[in-house]
Structure 1
Amino acid sequence: MNARLQQMADQMRQSLGTTGGQGAVRTDSARRRSASELLGKKRLMVAVCAVLFGIFSAIIELPLPAEDAYTAARAQLRQRPAPQDIAMIAIDDATLNELRVALPTRAHDSQVVDQLVAAGVQKIVFDRAHADPETAATDAIFAQTLARHRGKVWLGMATPIANGFRISDPIVPLKQFSDVALQASMAGYVGPFGFSVKFPTRVEMAGTAYPSISALLSGYNGPTQEYRPDYAFDPKTIPTFRYVDVLHGRIKSGELAGKSVVVGRTFIESPDFHNHPIYGRLAGPYFHILGAHTLRRDTPIDLLWYPAMLLAAAVIFAQTRGRPRGARDLWIVVFALLLVPFVLDEFAIHADIMPALLAIGFAAFGFHRINRKYYNVGVDAMTTSAISSERPSSERDVYALKIANLAELSENWSEREIGDFVNTLIAYVRGPGEVGDIAFDRDILVWLAPRMETADLERHADGLAMMLKTAISHDWQSSQGAPALGIDTNHDLPVALRIKRAMQAAEEAASRGVRFIINDAAHLEARNHRLGLIRVLEKGLRDRDIGVAYQPKIDLSSGRIVGAETLIRWRPDGGELINPQDLVLAAEAGDRINELTLVVMEAALIDGKQAITLDPRFKLAVNMSAKSLSDTHLLFDIMTLLGRFDFPAENLTLELTETAKLEDHRIAPQIAALKARGIGLSIDDFGTGQSNLEYIEKLPSSELKIDKRFVQHMATSEESRAVVRATIEIAHSLGKIVVAEGVEEFSVAAALRAMGCDQAQGYLFSQAIAMPELLAMMGVRQAILTA
């Protein structure tokens, strides 16, 4: 809040009282939790559910496929060749074809072991358990070979594996082999959808610990753990030799020296194939080699999902505090969680991030729904849903502030400028009193404030509206935005209903051009009366039986009737006479004013034809809202009526009544069309509302009518006489005819004639009468001014 705003707010507090008015009622409800606190509780519930959802998803490994896929994607970006110190001895299709066997025999294995030892291989690991007997001869040969190379050869084994309610038997080498050879675990765990593989570094069975093949090949001596092979190593770069070439000595000297080897199946029909997320299906032994390189590079550390979830939980719960925030902090954490694993991968550190991302996504969705339902974007305000309640509030008045012409006012503004404008208004509204949460709906601000007595409330509302008007004029250099307040004081009704009624009152105040309307019992009664009028009006419009009468216009120089104003004089179903002003207000409130204008005009044109027969110069006047000039459909209908009844356009005058400002660009084309047809325009009730000198400039009328309040005070007020005289002179200087309304005394008529006023109408000459009576008067020359 700037210094000027603070000063104005302080002045308002002094004039209205520090609590928003001397009659403000303060009770325990003033200390109730605000809507912000209640919505903070909703956000807290979302945060708790989001974190619990993330933890639960981690426990059941729900996001594991996505985790594995992202790990593989990072590995592809870090692609590198595999070290050359571990080689693959592949039992491939070419080997089987050349040996003409389904699998190499143990005699073949014995020869291969001898060849590998002779070639200088350090470790020979079979990815095969040799658990089933072959023949006595080949088994004996293989056992002798293992004994001869004791400490250099490892055979595969596997501990029992639980699969649902079933537990598989262990897979171990035959006893004659296990007595002379070492063993290494072949077992691994494949993740969902085959995106990942996990290996243990060590397994236990019957009290004995066995290293995994990968741990054995890497020389790993760290703690027992499970880890994922690093897919950044390219399996295509692993040195691979055919089993049959080793068997027949077709390997170049020195190619295997100093290496460790894995002897495993790679032929097409082998069941030991698994999905590699980058290279597709890959033989199982290659995964052991990738795992060995992973362990050799660094001791893997698996942080699991805990650190990421802690970070996500901290940020999620931070979002529940204070005013609603955007998703920026959540997005920052999301990007951090996605980027940090790239760094950790280089240090062999793995952390699951997908459960945390699920929690953040859950929270972001929940916060978005709350913000969308209860908070406005771009302004420091809630929606009306946030402060609505089905319970009454006997200690609070409900306020609604509408800025008239906000759409036109902000036509050239950006969204940010509109938000700044609304936030400025909110700051002013918060200033004068104990205003809690403020809601914004389209172009209306809504809030609750401590209850006041009627007199204090009227003073408070008037002062607040004037302050806001000044603020808009000063801060935004605009005189277009007129604030209108609607205040509901029906304390026994639910707050939600009262908000709607306060908004309706603000709309009505804006349309009527008043600063505020208090929606109390009296106003409700008046509104109900107006609604009743609307129903009666709709029937009258449907039946086209709305009655009219005509008040003559007298030429002051000759006393001759030169025209008449069409006025509504209607008794629905022969009942009481309806107040024309109330009927017009009801038509405007029900958006039926144009239909009423057309029905009245139709009746007037039918009657007016008779007057034109007597006097071709007779001018028939019909009232119309100046706002209707922007409605091309209405003007088209008027032209259609003129053609249908063959009524000369030059004999029709439209008396424009309006209290609101007009926009030149919206009415200029219609005014040009009316003038082209010869229809006259008259500014009614000049001197009131917006009908001032600026109005004359914007409405190039042919006639100007002085409001009756000035005319009727001419006999007693020099100021009124001066206003009338000046108006006549200005109008004549612009070439306009001047008509004085409300002439009731001969002395006033004489004074108007002396001032040069052209025409007059009022009770001195005649009340509104039916057309037959008007025709009778036209047949007799008037001598009232010369008597």
Structure 2
Amino acid sequence: MFRLRLLASLTKTARSLVLGTACLIGLAVALAGAGRDIDNRVRAAGYEHFPKTPSGDIVLVLIDTPSIKSLGIWPWPRSRHGDLITAIDRAGARRIAVDIIFDQPSADPRQDQLFAQALAQTKADIYFAALLGNLANGEEKQEALPNATLLPYVTPVSIWVQSDDDQFHRHTSLTAPVLGQTLPMMSQALAGTHYADAGKVLIDWAYWPRSFPSISYADVLAGRFPKDFFRGKSVLIGPDAFGLGDQISVPAHKKIAGMYVQAAAAETLHAGRPIELGDWPAILTALLLVSGAMLLKPRWRYGALALSLFTFAPVQILVEHFSIIRFDIGAASLATAAALLTQAFLTMAQAMLDRITKSAEAGLPNLAAMELDERNDGVMVVVCLRNYVETTALLGFAAQGKLLNKIRDRLILAAGHERIYQIDNHSFAWRSKEDVPEVVASLEGLEALFAPGVQVEQLTVDITLNAGFCDETALSVEDALPKAVMAATNAINRGILWERYETDEDEVFWKLSILNEFEQALGRGDVWVAYQPKLDLHSNAITGAEALIRWIHPDRGFIRPDRFVRAIEDAGRIDKLTLYVLERAIADFAPLGLSVAVNLSMRMLGKNKLEAPLRDLLETYGMPAEKLTLEITESATMTDDQGMAELESLRALGILISIDDYGTGQSTLSYLKRLPASELKIDQSFVRQVLTSRSDAVLINSTIKLAHELDMRVVAEGVEDQQVLDALAGMECDIIQGYHVGRPVPLAEFVSKLPHKITSATVAKTAAPRRSSRNAA
């Protein structure tokens, strides 16, 4: 169970877990720089597939293989470099940078003098490379400026480039220290920028080395170049032939000569110094996208997360291609990938949890789910399908799921919530927060809910069920469920709808002590009368109520009426209970001027035990006889002529007689003709299906018409909603009773809901008898 709870807790916190994982991975990768390889690969792909055209303001003069073949073996005399610079200067160049180290004097001093004379006569700005080596590897640094003969005529610049850990050159510094001086990089000189800080710039290798305007060294000396080729340009002179200089690894272009690094870096600066934002904008965007994906349904999250993941690279390439903004996506990509993997893991966890906590037949939550969702309080209720095996054998396995789902939907109506669990292939369970009387009322409504049958694949399946509950609310699911199952089994064996769990000792003790306990309950006030209001559809007002006996035992809790009333009847003590309810009802309702109905035990009829006490009660409390209705169950047999005669006497006294639960017994028209009834009460099993069962609607409509023809009013009980009420009103039903109108409640609560014309003084007035008070017990 611990593993199951852990699995459930993971799935319940799926959104937070996915977002939290993305946050942690993104933060860790950003701080560790672990996403750098992703950025390098994406940028390399962008450089390769989306090249840029250089501005043309930077021109390259190549010391290439054709020049060496034409001019002889390298190195050349320095005076020749002077001739080259003079030629370029006369062609109108703005800046001239030489990517060759001239730190040592020439073997022929005259060569340095001639070179210096050429430099002195140039109008363009001249930049010579300064030597700076081994800056990063911890060895002794090698530093040098152009030699003393040349230095007065040139500006020294650094050509040092530091490689990344993978030996690729992706960045250039803006300045570098050489012999105590802070020199700008040659790329700055070519671009004409003057950034004084020591920051780094990401070189844009979308400027392909061979895309720069270039010309061979020998062709410049020979004058073989267009007239305006150098005019107003920045010119970079450097070795391109293999073996003359360093071959440097760069993204998307393998190894190239060092001069191209300076050219690409200069072109990058020429377009504007890149604004490098680092990891955080992409990480924040990723977290926002992950958060948005978590708001979607699980099946849509994968698409949203995958789309986010595969969007980063194209966005980075496009933004960096068309602007100077640079941002890293490695950490954001890994964060999103982590979110996607976490979501996949949680989906598998949810699938595993569903397999464990849902039934195979219908996919309904099962016993494992109930234990997982355990609440430590509530009445445990179990409903067993008694004919499930025979039903599924006829339907086939394929239809079981549909049948069980439809049964569950109806049980939801009874339970009042959707947490219904299928604890085995023919039983359902739930925990109710309601008090036992409300639970009992819900269970008593099951017969009506399932009376029309369940429609499955064009077949109407009759469902027979029994229920049991355990009202020891503090018990866990593991302890309460077997007790509720045992109660349901007892209900099946006893042939009753529901049963409350009791131990065998409790049952024996109860049977032995019920009469004594009932006497004590009357004295303590544990037995009391609840009133369920009745709505008169003609006046649209509450005109009366039905009196219902209730017993709340101090130890056993709610005891259903049919259980203790039956025991009292069997013991021959029903007279006392009936008279108690009659007196309480008459005493409570006489001051209100409303009608009240009381269920009458047939065992009291025909013995002259009822008429005289009723006369006395009505006179004592001043209630008109027509305000009292005695309800007689239709299914009760009544062959005793003396009983019928006593009913006639009561009716002659003015007391109304009602046939209760009409439609569930075996009455005939001759029975209705003999019984002096003034009211007919339609059973709730028909009323609740009036909207869904055509036959029930026809029976109710015809019953109402028949009753009216016999000068009887009609009461419909079990009305649960406005739609049923409206349907009955359309059939000209007279009185409505049910939870939609009101539940059975104590007198004070009943009175509090009456119209204001029932004043507080009337309510407070005790039902004082006109003669001496009677002893209710």
Q: Normalization by structure 2: what TM-score?
A: 0.48
Q: Which has the higher contact order (CA 8 A, sep 6+)?
A: 1
Structure index of larger Rg: 2
Q: Normalization by structure 1: what TM-score?
A: 0.48
